[in-house]
A and B are shown apart, each in its own frame.
Chain A
Amino acid sequence: MIFVTTGTQAPFNRLVKVMDALAAELGGEEVIVQASGVNFETKNIKLVGFIHPLEYSRIINEARLIISHAGMGSIVSALTKGKPIIVIPRKAELGEHRDNHQVDSARKMEALGYVPVAYDEVQLKSKIIKMLLQDEVPEEASIGEYASSTLVNSIRGFMLSS
């Protein structure tokens, strides 16, 4: 199963469309797409709107690949569970977000080796196909359950010394 997650803030129909088209080429593998404000008919995907946090966690566990907007909730959930993820940032010029911070943060996270990023639908399609059909799964930068200990200790130290 492939899980596509777009958050709940605004529609991301560009991603829904490309995944609906691509799902037809994936040999019957289930594609679950979490999205809101979808204004067209989808044919090949299972579309869901709201997902309860615990159910969300279960779906992430079961997915073999996660496709996500550059929302930190989705990215961190995938990385915590060591799941392969491809990130496609929302673009302000296409009305997908109020600014381009998803592009900026995706670029910086890609540079640090946390996640592969697709900057358009063509890149997304080729990255998905490479990962799934040619079995080219990249080394995952899996992360632990908690923030870096330096940050945790700094916050705790400040609280205990105040």
Chain B
Amino acid sequence: MKVLAVASKGGHWVELLRLLPAFSGMEVVYVSTDSNLSATVEGSKFYSVPDANRWNKYKLIRIFIQLFDIVRREKPNFVISTGAAPGLMALMAAKILGIKTIWIDTIASAEKLSLSGRIALKFVDRLYTQWPDLSGPKIIYAGNILL
């Protein structure tokens, strides 16, 4: 089983690392927005992509193409992301390539799903929130990254 795990630097990355026991025994390939973070997952394959927020459409398209290439090359069984925009792009690429997708909405989105999470909800195979009061028919709450 091979997993492509995608998270932007900062909180999203920290959240992703706290989920690692879910992938034990699996091959994990990482993608983030800061090459320095490869030091925190030493020994694993690591890709760095530029950061972009949702307002920079041109940059987002370039990052999408880059992520599409990575997903196609790695052929993982799953692509999983804890956010933000580049993670969403990676899940979109995976969807197009017929690869299963999981979105874990950041714990920082406490009042409603993040914007990326609301877009992901429309197409991902599974979506988690970290706040019980945000759960719903297709939005799963099973705990958070803190405990």
**Chain A residues at the B interface, C-beta cutoff of 8 Å:** 7-9, 52-54, 70-74, 76-77, 79, 101-102, 104-105, 107-109, 114, 143-156, 158-160, 162
Contacts and interface: CB of A to CB of B under 8 A. Distances in A.
Interface of B: 1, 3, 9-15, 18-24, 26, 34, 36-37, 39-40, 77-78, 80, 100, 102, 104, 106-111, 125-126, 128, 130-131, 140, 142-147
A114 to B, nearest CB: 7
Contact of A71 (B11, B20, B100, B147): B11
Main secondary structure of the interface of A (DSSP, over half): helix
Given A76-B15, A159-B77, A147 B108 contact: no
Given A105-B108, A155-B19, A159-B78, A148 B10 contact: no
Contact of B22 (A73, A143, A156): A156
Nearest to B146: A143
A74 to B, nearest CB: 8
Given A147-B143, A154-B128, 7 more contacts: A104-B111, A105-B110, A143-B147, A147-B144, A151-B22, A154-B140, A156-B22
Give me the 6 closest cross-chain CB pairs, A-B, nearest first: A148-B143, A72-B11, A148-B147, A151-B143, A154-B142, A150-B143
A54 B12 CA distance: 17
A72 B107 contact: yes
Nearest to B34: A53
Contacts of A148: 142-147
A54 to B, nearest CB: 6
A155 B80 contact: yes
Nearest to A144: B147
A162 B143 contact: no
A52 B100 contact: no
A53 B42 CA distance: 12
A143 B147 CA distance: 6
Nearest to A98: B53
A147 B39 contact: no
Contacts of A143: 146-147
